[in-house]
Amino acid sequence: MSIEMLRKSNPLIHCMTNVVVTNFTANGLLAVGASPVMAYAKEEVADMAKVANALLLNIGTLSAESIDNMIIAGKAANKAGAPVVLDPVGAGATVFRTESCKRILKEVDVTIVRGNGGEIAALSDQAGTVKGVDGSIDSDPVELAKHAANVLNSAVVVTGEVDVVTDGTGTVCGYNGHPWLTKVVGTGCLSGAIVAAFASLKTDDFLEVIGYGLVAYGVAAEKAYEETKAKGYGSFQTAFLNQLGRLTDEDVKQHGRFERS
C-alpha cells in the first residue's frame, strides 16, 4: 500500500459533500492523485456512483433532500461494490444531523464512518460533546472507535490528536498530523475523502491501507507546518496542498508513526 499505488490507480471519487469544503476536497484529491467528481442530483447520483471507485457522503451542510440523494447514491455504490465513506459532520450538534446519519447507516451499507471523537461518540451512543465542527472527547479514541465499529457495524476512523482506524477487532493508530490542521476548514472533511480514495484500492489488508492514508496525510501536514510556521494559516493551507502533491512513500517511511494492535 502506498501513495504511488494510489497515483497509479487514479481512482474516481464521487463526492457528495458540503458547500464549505467542496473546492478544498477536490484540490486535495487531485493532489494525491485521485479524480474527484461532485454530483448531487437525484436524477444522476446513481449513474455517477456506479462508475466511481468510491463514494463519499459528507453531511456538513445537509438538507432533507441531500440525504435522500445520498441514500440513492449509496445504494448504487453498494450494488456496484464500491466502498462508501460516511462523514457525519456535526453529528450530535443537532438532532437532524444525528438522525440523518442514522438513516443513511440504516439504508446504506457504509464501509467506513470517519469523524472526530465527538461525532463518532454521538452516533454510537457514547458520551461526548461537539462544539461546531471540532468535537473533542474525554474517552480513549481506540476504545471509542472499536465500540463504535461494533455498534455501527462498519469500520470506523476517528481522527484527532491520534488517528484510529478499526474494524472493531484490529486497530491501526497513526500519530502524525499537526494542530494547525484545525485552523484550516475542511481538513477533517478532506481526510474523509482521502480515506475514500485509499479504500478504493484493492488490498487484502484494509486496516493497513487506511492507516497508511491517515499517516501520509499527517506527514504532509507536518511538512507543511515546518515550511510555514512563521507565516500563518493561509500559507499552511497552500503548503499542505503542495505537500499532498509531492508526498512520496519515502517520506511516509521516514516520518510516519504507526502502531498496530
The binding site for ATP consists of 114, 159
Least Å distance between CB 153 and its own copies?
Answer: 26
Instruction: Please say which residue, 63 or 153, places its beta carbon nearer to its own copies.
Output: 63
CB atoms within 10 A of CB 46: 18
Q: Which residue ranges are tagged as binding site?
A: 38, 114, 159, 186
Instruction: Please say which residue, 8 or 257, places its beta carbon nearer to its own copies.
Output: 8
Least Å distance between CB 39 and its own copies?
Answer: 7
State the sign of the Cα–Cα–Cα–Cα dihedral 243, 244, 248, 249: positive
Q: Are 92 and 128 in contact (CB under 8 A)?
A: yes
Instruction: Please say which residue, 206 or 240, places its beta carbon nearer to its own copies.
Output: 240
Instruction: Please say which residue, 145 or 181, places its beta carbon nearer to its own copies.
Output: 181
Distance CA 103, CA 261 (A): 32
Least Å distance between CB 118 and its own copies?
Answer: 13
Q: Of 238, 193, 229, 232, whose CA–CA distance to 14 is shortest?
A: 193
Binding site for its own copies (CB under 8 A): 12, 18-24, 26-27, 30-31, 35-41, 43-44, 47-48, 51, 60-64, 90, 93-97, 131-134, 182-186, 231-235, 237-243, 245-246
CB atoms within 10 A of CB 253: 10
Q: Of 151, 92, 153, 86, whose CA–CA distance to 117 is shortest?
A: 92
Q: Which residue ranges are tagged as binding site for substrate?
A: 38, 186
